Structure 1
């Protein structure tokens, strides 16, 4: 009995040690941060207009502010961008097309974003994930167009509610 207890304690300790090493070595991607404005405190909160073109062709203009995430801004204003992973960079349901004259004003996509975009239906050369577009003054009047469809696991037309 004592040997079994000692063995369980040792295995438990070994498991916890390895688990802690694993957790401390994991990199966690944050898509809500605002890397573009780290040293640009003068522009924090500056109003930025975003023009969304729905998949039905309707143009909706929303005013956000510097540091806002284009996907969350759309969701807060009832624009139909799903964002199933809630900006954790794990899906492509917030896929949009960025008007060409703004495309180069957005930082290059990360490898993770490019991998997810490869799975997006109706991919174009100006495709981006809207959760990765952080508003900054250079993006005043940016126009993003929603694609005809996105890919998710739902097959019955159900859309998840946003938290």
Structure 2
């Protein structure tokens, strides 16, 4: 599966996703500056991304724990998600995300 990620400078990166891994892991492994301070435990919101081009509506809504973390994050937009909570799957093939500001 493919993930299209725009970094904070506006450069687009095409990343190969791995089934069952999180988008956060794929972004980090690709060398993008995702802090992911909690390591994917949904406890910090430092892996926030903006989900682009109608993909947000195609996903399951965020769980309460993710919503709580986003409530404390900076720069939250209506299409914000925590990339540690987005698991790579065929349904997300081609997803487009933008890294949120630090």
Structure-1-length-normalised TM-score: 0.60
Q: 2:80 aligns with which of 102, 127, 138?
A: 127
Q: 2:2 aligns with which of 34, 49, 52?
A: 49
Unaligned runs of 5+ in 1: 1-47, 150-163
Corresponding residue pairs, total: 102
Aligned counterpart, 1:68: 21
Aligned counterpart, 2:44: 91
Q: What is the CA–CA distance in structure 1 between the aligned matches of 2:91 and 2:82, rounded to whole Å?
A: 18
Paired residues of 1:65 and 1:135 also in contact (CA < 8 A):
yes
Q: What is the CA–CA distance in structure 2 between the aligned matches of 1:68 and 1:131, rounded to whole Å?
A: 9
Aligned counterpart, 2:58: 105
Q: What is the CA–CA distance in structure 1 between the aligned matches of 2:33 and 2:58, rounded to whole Å?
A: 24
What is the 5 A alignment of 1:133-152?
A: 133-149=86-102
Runs of 4+ in 1 over 2 A off after TM superposition: none
User: What displacement does 1:65 show?
Assistant: 2.3
- Higher RCO (CA-CA < 8 Å; seq separation 6+): 2
Paired residues of 1:100 and 1:126 also in contact (CA < 8 A):
no
Q: What is the CA–CA distance in structure 1 between the aligned matches of 2:53 and 2:69, rounded to whole Å?
A: 21
Unaligned runs of 5+ in 2: none
Aligned Cα root-mean-square deviation (Å): 1.0
Aligned counterpart, 1:79: 32
The structure having more radius of gyration, on CA atoms, is 1
Q: What is the CA–CA distance in structure 1 between the aligned matches of 2:54 and 2:91, rounded to whole Å?
A: 11
Aligned counterpart, 1:37: none
